[in-house]
Amino acid sequence: MGGVVAFVSSGPGDPELLTLKAVSRLQTADVVLYDDLSSGGILAHAREGANLICVGKRARLPSAKQDHVSRLLVDYAITGARVVRLKSGDAGIFGRLEEEIATLRAAGVPYEIVPGVTSACAAAAAAGLPLTRRYTARRVQFVTGSDVSGGVPADLNWVALADPQATTAVFMGKQNFHLFSAHLMEHGLPPTTPAILAQSVGHGSQKLLRSTVGKLAQELSREAPSSTAVILYGPLV
């Protein structure tokens, strides 16, 4: 009999933010293919004797190729193994989930998706703030600040992203935020718009920097990229 793949969302890094279903799938998995940001205490929930394989990707560092990761999922599943693909944050938010699903479908391998807490929600919670606000922020938008080449995506809707009455979460945007913010201000977003830089959310090294779009862009333009981060801006205060 063939196996099954569970795409398990590990949340931002805090094991206490795992769902009960995520823990259940880890406890019964034969193989766990995990991202770098899904390691640490989260893997303590894996079944004793399970095969733990790191397939994480980090910018500008040696990383597992996507086609190799997708192939591993199929290769283990067709042996009858219960496979967990452990993804950071929520598996469906900028996690290349679609590519892995396509490979499983082509091979006829069944799968399920276990949703989780995305870093934008965790960052807002850590800051003690809602992502929506009555009258002033009825819309939330998630966007990636980097394309496959590492630059600012060329096809973004800057009018929507510069809407002062929307809360925006920028994933993978720390390195390019000085360029990203320039587009925002060109399309009318005030540089005084509140912004939060949330680094290593859910980890012991978590840091929150409250600033404005203009000031944060200046600070990040002088900073070498290091820890993972999500940037929130809009009517946050």
Residues labelled as active-site residues: 35, 57
First to last CA, the chain: 55
The tokens for 82 are 């219960």
Do 174 and 182 form a contact (C-beta atoms < 8 A)? no
- CA distance readout (Å), 78 to 16, 46, 186: 32, 21, 52
Which tokens in the block code for residue 108?
């006829």
Helices (H), the chain: 20-28, 66-77, 97-107, 119-126, 158-161, 177-186, 213-221
